[in-house]
A and B are shown apart, each in its own frame.
Chain A
Amino acid sequence: MIVYIIRRLMQAALVMVVMSVLVFAGIYLIGDPVLMMISPDASELEREAVRKALHLDLPMWQQYLLFVNDALHGNFGKSFLAGQPAMGLIFERFPATLELAFASLVLSLAIGLPLGVYAGLRPHTAGSKTIMTGSILGFSLPNFWVGLMLIMVFAVLLPDLVPGWPRLPASGRGATVDVLGVKLSFLTGDGLLHLLLPAVTLSLYKGALIVRLARATAREVLPMDYVKFARAKGLSERRIVGVHVLKNIMIPIATVSGLEFGQTVAFAVVTETIFSWPGVGKLLIDSILLLDRPVVVAYLVIIVFFFVALNLVVDLLYSVLDPRVRLESRAT
């Protein structure tokens, strides 16, 4: 087990090296950050001074080695623009994104799993046909449109038209609580309300995916002999579905949830922008536009590390859910 984890971490390190080279070279090729930072009528002398200060006058490979040297000492450089350490900038915003991603994952599981299992148990009822049709809408409607529509309906139209209808907030995190220096919204009522619309927006696609996956797996598991044997043992239907069927369904669900969670954390940009959610996705987009290389590189390093950790958690979860999986014997 420990060997397995160490091997995974070494793979992660390799991925990080490859990724950092790619990102470094990519941004180097795109353009000169100094042009973005300095007013157009600054003199060539001033530009040269800034270039020197940021080591942008060196050849690319030297810049890269400088960066690696600093990174190995835990320093990912300062944002060209904000002048603050890039890592600090990201970590300030990371909890907001994590919180949003986690809320949407919980929401999609809480809704998707029961609906999917129901549709799998009773595939021919009108209810499950409605669920399945709804799930198609769920993953074909574009995120930004859903977000805008939710704002239209719940933050504008309904409160305007129906007297007394609560107006849901559609912008920002609302009130937050400091827990060990991390700002959290979901611990306050106001924060929860602010979380609601963006979380629903993000959970729609995930929930639809989980519905379909849960249904398909339930349909696969139900005709199995061990389900019939469980009936022959005289178990209650609740126990059969809740333990024998559900535990088998959870295996693919765990995989997809892990992947989806990572996706959301890394790429919730659109939703964060629509709801002005002060998350890390918005920071990334701004930094890419302004060629703020330290922030982009630091962000991607964190995301790679995050994905590796997430996959490790999913693999560990696998071995809990499915005893036939043995971590040591797998080389991936």
Chain B
Amino acid sequence: MTTLSVRNLRTHFFTKEGVAKAVDGVDFDVAPGEILGLVGESGSGKTVTGFSILGLIDPPGRIVEGSSIRFNGEELTAARPERLRAIRGSEIAMIFQDPMMTLNPVLRVDTQMIETVQAHLKVSEADARDRARKALVQVGIPSPDERLRAYPHQFSGGMRQRVAIAIALLHKPKLIVADEPTTALDVTIQGQILFEVQRLCRESGTAMIWVTHDLAVVAGLADRIAVMYAGRIVETGRTADVIERPMHPYTKGLIGSVPSQNTRGHKLAQIPGMTPSLLRLPRGCAFKARCPIAIDQCNEMPALEEHRPGHWARCWRATG
């Protein structure tokens, strides 16, 4: 039984300039306790995918008819707003990118934690405070009672992200959507948080979608990887398969542009050009203009096909 099953997810933004197809036909599953790395550069639709799952797409964007997001068997695209609110924060939690911005600067940490508890459970304030305290201990924040009475600006960036993670963990969610939660942190803190999150997921069987542009981070964290480009998944498979034997030229380019032992002394490879505008996507494969091995056939959109067992790619030139 999968925790989350996304089928043909299409989230479009209806602007004056035209329809921006930020997410255009995305499929994936996440099993309990599994970590899925959703990788892509800015504008690839990875963040919008994450927000779509929580039903947090603001107008002029919306999830287009025909999309399906099944969470524990429940169709979220058909759920009422009140039901979505009840799920958010309790069964599906989210961690944001910039810890400096996710906590309200004018409210104390305890206020922001207790309100989260009481939004989903009818408990007294004392009980809610106790839960908040335990959650802070769980993410490794020392002297939690003192910290609860503090304001966000009295915390460092890493500490704030720990608080945000503690808030996400308050209701022991079945799924956590993490939107680049370590990007804004320095590397040592990044490592600690990664380790912490991995441990918490394993212990509680929480499924996780880790949205990032950083292949190096997900390589050590995720069980499976899905690479997104211009609103579509172009390659997906087990982490080791995708990293070691990438099939899509875009994935190859991403991996080639990460510095490693082997690239020492050599020029780093880079992918030429920029992500195409979502308003004016070319016909066929969106990557063809930047692709070193593009052929005429690329003017037709290739399907996402299983070229090796459990390893899928959306490319005419992918080989098994």
Contacts and interface: CB of A to CB of B under 8 A. Distances in A.
Given A233-B116, A233-B119, A234-B88, A228 B56 contact: yes
B107 A232 contact: no
B167 interface: yes
Nearest to A248: B106
Nearest to B55: A231
Contact of B106 (A234, A236, A322): A322
A234 B89 contact: yes
A234 B116 contact: yes
Interface string B79-118: 0000001111110011011100111111110000001100
Given A235-B115, A239-B119, A229 B88 contact: no
Contact of B88 (A232, A243, A248): A232
A236 B107 contact: no
- Name A's interface SS: helix
B90 A234 contact: yes
A323 B108 CA distance: 9
Nearest to B106: A247
B115 A233 contact: yes
Interface string B214-242: 00000000000000000000000000000
Nearest to A251: B106
Most chain B beta-carbon contacts within 10 A, residue among A225, A226, A230, A232: A232
A244 interface: yes
B106 A321 contact: yes
A324 interface: yes
B96 A234 contact: no
A235 B171 CA distance: 13
Interface string A5-29: 0000000000000000000000000
Interface in B114-129: 115-116, 119-120
Interface string B57-87: 0000000000000000000000000000111
Contacts of A321: 106
B115 A239 contact: yes
A72 interface: no
Nearest to A223: B58
Contacts of A251: 106
Interface string A221-263: 0001110111111111001000110011001000000000000
Given A233-B93, A244-B104, A323-B151, 13 more contacts: A224-B101, A225-B97, A226-B103, A226-B104, A229-B94, A229-B102, A231-B88, A243-B107, A247-B104, A323-B106, A323-B108, A323-B153, A324-B151
